[in-house]
Amino acid sequence: MTAKLIKGTEIREEILNEIEGEVKQIKEKHGAVPGLVTILVGENPASISYVTLKIKTAHRLGFNEIQDSQPVDLPEADLLALIDKYNRDDSIHGILVQLPLPKHVDEKKVLNAIDPDKDVDGFHPVNVGRLMIGGDEVKFPPCTPAGIQEMIVRAGVETKGAEVVVVGRSNIVGKPIANMMLQKGPGANSTVTIVHTGTKDLEGHCKRADILIVAAGVPGLVKPQWIKPGACVIDVGVNRVGEKISEKTGKKIAILKGDVDFDEAKEIAGSITPVPGGVGPMTITMLMRNTLKSLKFKLGIE
């Protein structure tokens, strides 16, 4: 059996088209567009490419977008003042501070300074709490977990009563996706287990999973024989394992490998996300959706 491929690149296009249509309608009816600012401190190459893609996507959708690039030695107090400025700016509905931040800056302090009602990353403790409560309380689900849930739903995988096993307990992926999948409601209502480096029988837990979500950051951690035949496998791992020359551009690019042995796993799973082109494209897509949501909350139409 060969698994159905859950392609993030295709789902991204569907969702971005939906957002684009909604932005046009809101602009006509209310004269407003979503505003997103990305704040980048320093010149980390990976961060620059992420931020550039976020801004490009926002531009394509007709958002008001600002890329605010700051020097690597920007004092923490100046960064907090900058956030305060955007917190007060009515044309901005989403504020994203690109992580990681330079060592002299206290990341927690910075994330806590963002107005929770503009925190489209969903990293502020208020939004983490809202997610935990679930239902109508949730304003901005964190982008990668929101993308994962959207992929599972759009792939037509039954979540109600499903055994979901999440490998990894990070604040950005593992903990929030586990929380989201156990909530009552559509696209969730699952029985959830989180496994991690302290788990005794990783293999045994994985083998029980109807939906296996792997976000460990360890290339090839999950072996094909750990997968229950027919399971849905979501591989969040994006591990750089080498470099190659791109056939398209002739430039050096990273060779990426997921946390799951894809070639063998796809012969056992019922559905599976590839790496690259799986979960990756969904994160920015959900950031756009959260920014649109933020405007809609402000207009009282969400």
Q: Which of residues 57, 179, 273, 283 is near ligand GUN by CB under 6 A?
A: 283
Cβ(120)–Cβ(36) under 8 Å?
A: yes
Site mask for ligand GUN (CB under 6 A), range 132-151, x = bound? -----------x--------
C-beta of 123 vs 262, nearer to ligand GUN: 123
Q: Cβ of residue 117: shortest distance to ligand GUN, in angstroms?
A: 17
* From 62-70, 93-101, 210-218, 265-273, span contacting ligand GUN (CB under 6 A): 93-101
Q: Say whether 119 is catalytic.
A: no
In whole angstroms, give the CA distance from residue 151 to residue 12.
10
Q: Say whether 25 is catalytic.
A: no
285 binds ligand GUN (CB under 6 A): no
User: Within 159-198, which residues bind ligand GUN (CB under 6 A)?
Assistant: none
Q: Which of residues 57, 67, 98, 273 is near ligand GUN by CB under 6 A?
A: 98
Q: Cβ of residue 131: shortest distance to ligand GUN, in angstroms?
A: 15
Q: Which one is catalytic: 67, 118, 119, 121? A: 121
96 binds ligand GUN (CB under 6 A): yes
121 binds ligand GUN (CB under 6 A): yes
Q: Give the binding-site size for ligand GUN (rule: CB under 6 A).
A: 8
Please give the structure tokens belonging to residue 151: 């992929």
Q: Which of residues 99, 128, 132, 138 is near ligand GUN by CB under 6 A?
A: 99
Q: Say whether 261 is catalytic.
A: no
C-beta of 224 vs 277, nearer to ligand GUN: 277
Positions in the binding site for ligand GUN (CB under 6 A): 50, 96-99, 121, 143, 283
Q: Which residues are known catalytic residues?
A: 54, 98, 121
